[in-house]
Chain A
């Protein structure tokens, strides 16, 4: 079984998001970049599924050379090899297009992505990839098992869950529940240095979206405190002032 895990390089979750150049650029100054937490879960599941010689795990990233630390981390966690498509990831369409080109030349049984990237987080790459390859795409996946040449997945739906059977090859966008994130051990970190990381040039593609500017949510006003023994006053305020109950 050959598994491809798509990984993105995102600002650490503790990052306070700010912008520069008149709010047109994300301010990366002092920002620590990490492996997208959902991709970490996808990778961890891929490693579990292929353990004991049952297959191989390739990680792929569309990014500039600066993402290599994150790619090495994925190799240290246990991926067998890595591919970097050398380009700035313009948007989900650009990323999905590049990965689809790679998959068409190197077939995989299972392609995993995170449910979303925590930076531009469109949860779009999985679906676009599925469409470009004309194969099923399922997300948000909380459980993923394989049996022969098909997978069984549990998908989150509003107020419940759905179980689907999906034949290989397919794309799954994974979230918590699929696996516990694996932490690289010393041997993993050592071997990551020598595992193959192939750099591939990007294919040209027409863009159809452009981010023009950013803004942060409007600051909220001062908190109105109510004494601990005046719960009924709070409920009153929520009714008469905030008008939410």
Chain B
């Protein structure tokens, strides 16, 4: 038996969320006294692959061919499931990223496995009982789910498990994957990346603006603050509905659920649907001119004031802090 971790890369590089998932999978392997096997698909250089050993991979399988250059979930699921079978892995771990969420259900069906998507903590294993805590009701609650099948698939929410260094052998091996022609029906035509920006689901700091900012022309200061903090920008639903910002920035119950270390809400009232998407943030800061705004009920720090005066001051204060650090 072993634990298999799918190590997702973005343009040949592993992201922090991948290392989090490796650390998490390592801990499960330790819990179950087995090996951790990592699988990497696509063009990833050896210096990147060797990083996987640092977080506890005993073995690293690499699969790279022209057909698998772009992510196609059907084909990737076949590769990962075939690796799980070959390695005798009964637990497959991946990151609960956009791609991970496209893979987990397909792998689950292939392996006849129960799937715990949105996992936020290590499983509890006692005898035959295997339970995982996961998000539910769009961030408004957590559920403890028992996986009753022999095989299990777990998708870990980014930023919910700490990266832990734990050196292992990390022997790199080429893996020849079993795929079939019908796995490649969906064809990637184009990939558009806005590389200059921090991606929202991965971000450790998020600066988010609401209707209180009055219009898209006022987002310059939001972007400036975000740039200074190395943060991603986000917004409330009415802001993206009005076309002030792209839909991909909309946070909340019907948008993206984020779990950054710091979420700064500016001119956002804190409607229940918005709060659902930010409840896993470690620290929440609110700037709102209304002291009664519900956002202050969940915020850890707050400033009651006009965003048009407060944000420029925050920008100045961050600049000062950075200059002195």
Contacts and interface: CB of A to CB of B under 8 A. Distances in A.
B141 A124 contact: no
Contact of A221 (B198, B280, B300): B300
Interface string B163-188: 00000000000000000001001111
A203 interface: no
Nearest to B252: A13
Interface in A220-240: 220-221, 223-229, 231-232, 234-239
A9 interface: no
A109 interface: no
B318 A127 contact: no
Interface string B202-216: 100100000000000
Would you call the interface of chain B mostly helix, strand, loop, or mixed?
Answer: mixed
Contacts, number: 280
A223 B287 CA distance: 12
A216 B302 contact: no
B320 A232 contact: yes
A235 to B, nearest CB: 4
A132 B108 CA distance: 11
Nearest to A217: B279
A207 interface: yes
Interface size class of B (residues with CB under 8 A): 35 or more
A165 B205 contact: no
Contacts of B301: 223-226, 234, 237-238, 242
B140 A17 contact: yes
| Residue of B102, B147, B279, B302 ringed by the most chain A CB atoms within 10 A | B102
A176 to B, nearest CB: 5
Contacts of A236: 321
Nearest to B117: A122
A139 B187 CA distance: 14
Contacts of B145: 209-212
A66 interface: no
B73 A211 contact: no
Which 7 A-B residue pairings sit nearest by Cβ, starting from the closest? Answer: A228-B305, A127-B105, A159-B199, A208-B149, A231-B313, A208-B114, A160-B193
